[in-house]
Amino acid sequence: MREPLTVLGLESSCDDTAAAVVRRGQVMSSVVIGQGGLHDAFGGVVPEIAARAHAEKLDVAVAQALREAGLALDEIDAIAVTSGPGLIGGVLAGVMCAKGLAAATGLPLIGVNHLAGHALTPRLTDGLAYPYLMLLVSGGHCQFLIVRGPQEFTRLGGTIDDAPGEAFDKAARLMGLPQPGGPSIEAAATAGDPRRFALPRPLLDRDDCNLSFSGLKTAVLRQRDALVAECGGLRRADRADLCAGFQAAVCDVLADRMRRALRLYMGENPSAPAVAVAGGVAANMAIRARLEAVAQEAGARFTAPPLRLCTDNAAMIAHAGIELFDAGVRDDMTLSARPRWPLDQSQAPLIGSGRKGAKA
Ligand code: KG4
Ligand code: ZN
């Protein structure tokens, strides 16, 4: 029987300031402080503004996480912090805060890869056994991983340009729909005809697990311009059809790539085959249903952690910290913030960076 281990996690790699307390498998608190409208006027996250907001809010988030968990700092066993990849100013703010806490308390300090945090979440929420296949799909990430251990990942492929959430957001903007684009497009698509506009399915002929979404976004732009030239604007039905067509194209691309990734994963004969998805785009019911069907076809279990643990949060960082602690990982005051930190160092870097910064 392993010791109960209680870890305080910090996350500040993008535009959410988060702190959480996790005790082996149990989320005791998870605080996420967004940056509200701070970046709205700029069309994307402004790194300097984000970093300053993190520096102002990290101690607030930590105090709240401890309070909600009903614990004092001296009842914590270790401090885990996202030390990359992400927007460097924000990551630095988190790392400095964690170092301060570790120096003041003498607690062990553990640097966590943000992507590993996402990738290990199904172990916290569903107790998945290694190895499982993971698809990360959000506004900042898109990659297929075989997760073999807390520090052992095989990246099968990823986006070579935009992340899918980013494509949803840009396509929504083109059609005059509110942000975030994913939920707006999903809602509009329910009344649309996905077959009216012929939109591309980029890279489907390629014999790998890479994806591309920027051509699809350009095709939406062309269709919109054609409709505006022809009818003077987008009618409600045009918008619904374009949304349905766009969503169907994303579904087809993700399902096809998932099928390929599953073939590679199942080829290893895992004893308890499982597929997990995480990230904001996994909230899309049409996408989720398609991915679930593909997993079932292959005889694999399908899981998607609840949305609050699927999107950026610190419980995933605390949980990854527990797994790393068990593996003997300890950092010290030399821990540095890394803007880039691929999970699978054996693979060539992906070009895609995402609206929220490079996270290959
Ligand atoms: O994981 P997340 O909250 O943040 C990061 O990107 O890190 O994901 C946000 C992204 C946004 O781009 C948003 O448009 C997309 O997830 N999203 C969706 C849906 N809900 C959120 N995309 C498609 N369908 C949805 N229902
Ligand atoms: Zn993330």
Same topology for domains 6-119+309-358 and 130-307, yes or no?
yes
Q: What count of other Cβ atoms lies within 10 Å of the Cβ of residue 318?
A: 36
180 lines ligand 1 (CB under 6 A): yes
Is residue 321 very low, low, confident or very high in pLDDT (cuts 50, 70, 90)? very high
List of residues 6+ apart from 117 with CB closer than 8 A: 11, 82, 316, 317, 319, 320
Q: Is 44 in the pocket of ligand 1 (CB under 6 A)?
A: no
| pLDDT of 155 | 96
For 150-181, the pLDDT digits (tens) are: 999 999 999 999 999 999 999 999 999 988 89
Ligand 1 site, residue 154, Cβ cutoff 6 A:
no
Q: Please state the rounded mean pLDDT for residues 208-226.
A: 95
State whether the beta carbon of 354 lies less than 6 angstroms from ligand 1: no
In angstroms, what is the span from residue 318 Cα to ligand 2's centroid? Answer: 14
Residue 351: predicted pLDDT? 58
Ligand 2 center from residue 165 Cα (angstroms): 12
| Ligand sitting nearest the alpha carbon of 112 | 2
Atom of ligand 1 nearest to the CA of 354: 6
182 lines ligand 1 (CB under 6 A): yes
d(CA 11, CA 95): 9
What are the residue boundaries of the structural domains of the chain, listed by start? 6-119+309-358, 130-307
Amino acid at 144: F
pTM: 0.92
Q: What is the CATH number of domain 6-119+309-358?
A: 3.30.420.40
Cα 195 to ligand 2 centre (Å): 33
pLDDT at 358: 45
Confidence at residue 2, expressed as pLDDT on a 0 to 100 scale: 61
Tell me the C-alpha distance between 76 and 102, whole Å. 11
**CATH topology for 130-307?**
Nucleotidyltransferase; domain 5 (3.30.420)
For 265, the token pair is 């994963």
Coil, strand or helix at 138: coil
What pLDDT does residue 360 have?
A: 44
The total of other beta-carbon atoms located within 10 Å of residue 74's CB is 8
Task: Note whether 77 and 28 are within 8 A (CB).
Answer: no
The pLDDT, as a whole number, for residue 352 is 53
- Ligand closest to the CA atom of residue 15: 1
At 202 the pLDDT is 85
Ligand nearest to the CA of 121: 2
Can you read off the two tokens belonging to residue 11? 């996350």
Contact (Cβ atoms closer than 8 angstroms) between residue 82 and residue 13: yes
